[in-house]
Chain A
Amino acid sequence: MADTKKVKAHREPLVHIVKRDDMPSWKAWLIRIGTIVVSIFLMGCLSMMLTERSLIDTFEIMYRGVFGRIETGSTVMLWKYLQEIAILLCLALALTPAFKMKFWNCGAEGQALMGGLAAMVCMIELGKTLSYPVLLVVVIVASVVTGAVWGLIPAVFKALFNTNETLFTLMMNYIATQIIAYYVYIVGGGSNVIQPVAEGNLPVIGNNRYLVNIITVALITVLMYVYLKYSKHGYEISVVGESQNTARYIGINVKKVIIRTMVISGAVCGIAGMLLVAGTDHSINTDTVGGQGFTAIMVSWLGQFNPFIMVLMTGVICFLRMGAAKVADTCMLNASFADIVVGIVILCVVGCEFFIRYSVKFRHGKKEVKA
């Protein structure tokens, strides 16, 4: 019976994975929230090992890093936290219509940078000549249009020549970064720093430099939700994303939808760049967006393309990032600590989707077939 023995060696494995699509959504959310809690706990353990502080201490520092007061000023950190959320959320919102269309726009970083650059150029070049209201309009329009153009270019190539949009948008980021570097070099006169510009900034509401950004993004969130869910455009985006064949069958002009959606995506990215430059920084450098264009990809995915869930996701991610930065600061850790923490959490959350979609079954106590 040597033959049977050989065959039995590759019989059903100990563990097998079964697809499921019957998990109720409350259970799925319980798993997701549980995962976030567990991953934060993991992160606490990591910092405990590195800093020899207690877990509670670590969390207390994190909490202070987000909700505490800056000792010297009167600004509450909370506003800074909301600002961080606003920018990340704005970028994620910008990506969402493209992603729903299965157009993998990885160019939020570059589109936002170009939007910011347009605002900067207008502020510097026209700041002295135009009156404030006109200048403000010009700044806003310029950044929206430039962001849109940066999104339009890969869309046109996709629609006409079916180029790979992932690579195309990714490469456009580097072009944007280099253009910014060049502009900073010219304006900054070799110092590689542009001094903050006073003209053409967004209005300050209630003595709070972040409030106008927060309100703008809150507005975009609601608009984007309505656009995707209730407008005809939103419906067309979903159909094109699900099946281009179906779209053609019912007479949707697929090329037009791709181009239109990417213009919107790029324009909202442009707004994010404008908020950063004209709203808070009043200056620009290659690091103005700071990689958030890439984090936004994760946010959009994790939020399952729902703007309101994305608000929660950005809340969690920004909390961790700011909290971990404070921990790193207080405990003299490297600044990369924050990146590591956010990385751990995202990895856990992405990983938990596996357990929502599949269940793992162990082979247990199955009756062996005797030969």
Chain B
Amino acid sequence: MSKQPAIELKNITKRFGKVVANKNVNLTAYRGEILSILGENGSGKTTLMNMISGIYFPDEGQIFVDGKEAVIASPKDAFEYKIGMIHQHFKLVDVFTAAENIVLGIENGKYDLKRSTGEIRKISEQYGFDLAAEKKIYSMSVSEKQTVEIIKVLYRGADILILDEPTAVLTPQETEKLFSILRNMRDDGKCIIIITHKLHEVLSLSDRVSVLRKGEYVGTVNTAETSESELTEMMVGKKIELNIERSEPKNSTDRLYVNGVTCMDRQGATVLDNVSFTAKSGEILGIAGIAGSGQRELLESIAGLQHLSSGEIFYIDPKTDKKENLRDKTPVQIREMGVRLSFVPEDRLGMGLVGNMDIIDNMMLRSYSKGHSMFLQRKAPKDLAMKIIHDLEVVTPGATTPVRRLSGGNVQKVLVGREIAASPTVLMVAYPVRGLDINSSYMIYNLLNEQKEKGVAIIFVGEDLDVLVELCDRIMVIGSGKITGIVDARMTTKEEIGLLMTKSKADGKENDNG
């Protein structure tokens, strides 16, 4: 492997107001290697890469491309230096075909879609992509869209590729495929930089790893010479236990019985298709699936926020064993029936909490309507706020700070704390650790385990399959609104779940262009 530096960063600093996103970062990436940029959320990985791809301009420091100093002030400049970035959120025109999207925006030369399609095919064959150039974007799966984004960048001649969290939306099988393509590109002499916070991917894919922590550069290690625990220590700054406890469910009884639930979205498309399952007390039921497969609608149906076209949702009262149908009940009616259902939604500040209100007023969301008085009682919510701040170690200037000023982890602690404080019998959590640092994530897992010990039926919608397999008792897989399987988490593998995730699509329309 010829060690020729493709890109070098020297003392790069970037500030946003008072926040220092990157501080004196030094980094080198070579041709013919895959470099991982590892760091927790908010450690400045994306900001750093955005400076290489011309979206931000560094406040201080220099960037060298091929040993020469480069001034990259716009994405266009970046392309002149043959740098291409694949963003987390795709930037494609839905009604255009893959080929049209790839050619879009290239100014010089004539518009010759036939010739371009030929070139696209050549690139696909060279690296092993599967791409139907004539297919419209809106009919593509997430992984196909990502392929279009990558080819778009290659088509423009990029030989330094930056991928921002490319696997976040992929199944294990798709991830493996992407990795083999990236390895092909590396062998072709390209420089690949991938941003990630998943350790096992770093270890299986990259040649070297550079770690950032709170905007600062911690160091670079060769992947072959490192381990998960060393990388975690570099990321977090201290040693940390990475095991999730899992106890056997005790006295498990049926608590929630969902039968044949079907529901439509506003456009009339089916988002949940005949979903049936049972959630048991003292057990964590994981829900896995590609983002947007109906997870949100399922939880909202149970919480009384979705209108069902058909099906029933029965709650089995732990004291009386009486079955109550929750269908077509509003959240208030469900509460009045004595069903203690807590729900931590995916959108924390847009649904679970009010960002501009302080912690006390956010505590009050659940309890304000109690009692007949016209006026609010702020005493109890205040006590609860103080208790949660203390028990869950919420970092905040005080109970009267608007929650939007808190960091992601602390926002989630406030929300989970409030939902648990209602001593639920059913607890639903959607992506509870998204965007959280490792310490906060583990605190949330522990809280869920505590609730499990208390006999709460927990429904956990997650995206990290490693976590689901380690934490849950059973895992239900959902694909395009259908249940494609319920597996025992102690016996299953990530690969099995991954296959189930795409199962319903495979029998409908072709997915893998196989």
Contacts and interface: CB of A to CB of B under 8 A. Distances in A.
Given A18-B17, A232-B369, A251-B330, A242 B77 contact: no
Contacts of B305: 248-249
Contacts of B127: none
A242 B354 contact: yes
B352 interface: yes
A346 interface: no
Contacts of B357: 238-239, 242
A8 B347 CA distance: 41
Interface in B331-374: 331-332, 335, 343, 345, 347, 350-357, 361, 364-366, 368-369, 373-374
9 contacts: A12-B57, A238-B361, A242-B354, A243-B351, A248-B331, A249-B345, A251-B331, A251-B332, A251-B335
A332 interface: no
A249 B369 contact: no
Interface of B: 16-18, 57, 60, 62, 69, 71-74, 77, 303-305, 330-332, 335, 343, 345, 347, 350-357, 361, 364-366, 368-369, 373-376, 405
Nearest to A250: B365
B347 A22 contact: no
A191 interface: no
B71 A249 contact: no
A250 B303 CA distance: 10
Contacts of A238: 354, 357, 361
Interface of A: 4, 7-8, 10-12, 18-22, 230-235, 238-239, 242-243, 245-246, 248-251, 253, 367, 369, 371
A369 B11 CA distance: 12
A10 B343 CA distance: 49
Given A4-B71, A11-B57, A231 B17 contact: no
Instruction: Enumerate the 3 nearest inter-chain pairs by beta-carbon distance, A residue then B residue, closest first.
Output: A251-B331, A251-B332, A242-B354
B397 to A, nearest CB: 11
Contacts of B353: 246
Contacts of B330: 251, 253
A231 B352 contact: no
Nearest to B62: A369
B354 A249 contact: no
A253 B365 CA distance: 14
Contacts of B77: 7
A240 to B, nearest CB: 10
A236 B236 CA distance: 41
Contacts of B304: 251
A231 B365 contact: no
Nearest to B58: A369
Contacts of A248: 305, 331
A18 B330 CA distance: 43
Given A18-B16, A231-B374, 13 more contacts: A8-B73, A10-B74, A230-B375, A230-B376, A231-B376, A232-B369, A245-B347, A246-B354, A248-B331, A249-B303, A249-B351, A251-B332, A369-B62
B18 A22 contact: yes
A371 B376 contact: no
A101 to B, nearest CB: 13
A371 B354 contact: no
A371 B68 CA distance: 9
Contacts of B62: 369
Given A232-B376, A235-B376, A248-B305, A10 B351 contact: no
Nearest to B345: A249
Nearest to B378: A230
A18 to B, nearest CB: 5
A4 B71 CA distance: 7
B110 to A, nearest CB: 25
A214 B351 CA distance: 42
Contacts of A235: 361, 364, 368, 376
